Amino acid sequence: MPVSSPTPAGSRERLVRHRAARLEDWIHDIRERWARRRGHLPTVVPYTGYGSTEWVRVFCRVLLTRPLPADASKRRRRRREQGIRGWRSFTSVPVGDVPVIIEIGDERIEVLADRGGVVDTKIPVALEPGWHQVSLRTEGSETVEAPVWIVGPDVRFGLISDVDDTVMVTALPRPFVAFWNTFVLDEHARIPTPGMAVLYERLVRTHPGAPVIYLSTGAWNVAPTLTRFLSRNLYPAGPLLLTDWGPTHDRWFRSGREHKEENLRRIAGEFPDIRWLLVGDDGQHDEELYARFAAEHPERVAAVAIRRLSTGEAVLAGGRTKGEQHGANVPWVSASDGSNLADQLADVGVL
């Protein structure tokens, strides 16, 4: 059974970690010892993955949580499998550098969670197109199942979408969006962007088998909440590509822009035959990021669709980006809601 181990580069990274990362690790160690003394046990929180017929990208996170009683109801166990809710997802203690056993098809592999307890790994495996389940567990935890979408070799279209102010309306100053969505606002009170779910559903019906990937700068902690929001508001199911808050080995805070750029390039390399519809809004850096990607990989972009924020939303988001920046030789549409975006995408042949 293959077991991942720190590479020499990884070892050097440990030695030169930023002092903020070392401080965070020290705090995690204290919290982990305290939680274990209280009887908390490792729990694997599964996230939706994706892949081709030759490999799969698996996501999950390991947290220390209070164990469920043996007679816990199915509903309580299902809630545990869905993940820790709201503010509890941020106060729960991540467990880093622990082995996680992944089983899918005929493959069984053991990998190490990173320092934030996150597993993001690519596994060679032969699977048929469609939905599959991956089994995940770590020492002392129950086995949980993570869904993965396998893209067929004949698929030529896919959708990559931002989340905040694209599929859900936040209407808050950017610095407070993450705090509000995580600690204050009940998940049932989140507002879907008008017409966007219908647009996405039309797209997947028009392009059968198309992967739908939600690329956001949000933290992995909110993945279960966002997944439930998308499902409840009838958005197509698909993986969330999120990031881990806090310092990295070489800086105080992670770069959301780098996270999006790296994943766009990675997805383009993983699916060289797919042309992507990139959907975002004009209140962050989506236009700039998509324009740069389209200029570098025009053959990978079917079109770019930008949701225009209202005047009030744009003020709260810190202003608008300049639409003329796109300049790429790909179809570029813009509207305030999903219905008008759908009309324009039909005009350019995407719908």
Residue 11: per-residue pLDDT: 38
pTM, two decimal places: 0.81
299 Cβ partners below 8 Å, 6+ apart? 275
Q: How many residues does the chain have?
A: 351
Residue 311: per-residue pLDDT: 54
Q: What angle do CA 198, 169, 248 make, to 5 degrees?
A: 110
Q: How confident is the model at residue 94 (pLDDT cuts 50, 70, 90)?
A: confident
Tell whether the model's pLDDT for residue 190 goes beyond 90.
no
Helix-strand-coil split of the chain, %, nearest 5: 35, 30, 35
Strand partners, 159: 212, 277
| Average pLDDT value for residue range 76-81 | 56
Q: pLDDT per residue over 192-223, tens digit each? A: 999 999 999 999 999 999 999 999 988 887 88
Tell whether the model's pLDDT for residue 170 goes beyond 80.
no
Tell whether the model's pLDDT for residue 24 goes beyond 80.
no
Residue 139: per-residue pLDDT: 85
The domain segmentation of the chain, as residue ranges, is 8-150, 157-347
Tell whether the model's pLDDT for residue 153 goes beyond 70.
yes
| Average pLDDT value for residue range 106-112 | 92
5 Cβ partners below 8 Å, 6+ apart? 112
CATH topology of domain 157-347: Rossmann fold (3.40.50)
Average predicted confidence (pLDDT) for the chain: 79
Tell whether the model's pLDDT for residue 238 goes beyond 90.
yes
Domain 8-150 has CATH 3.40.50.2000: no
Residue 221: per-residue pLDDT: 79
Q: pLDDT per residue over 287-334, tens digit each? A: 999 999 999 999 999 999 999 986 555 444 444 455 445 556 899 999
Q: How confident is the model at residue 349 (pLDDT cuts 50, 70, 90)?
A: very high
Tell whether the model's pLDDT for residue 91 goes beyond 60.
no
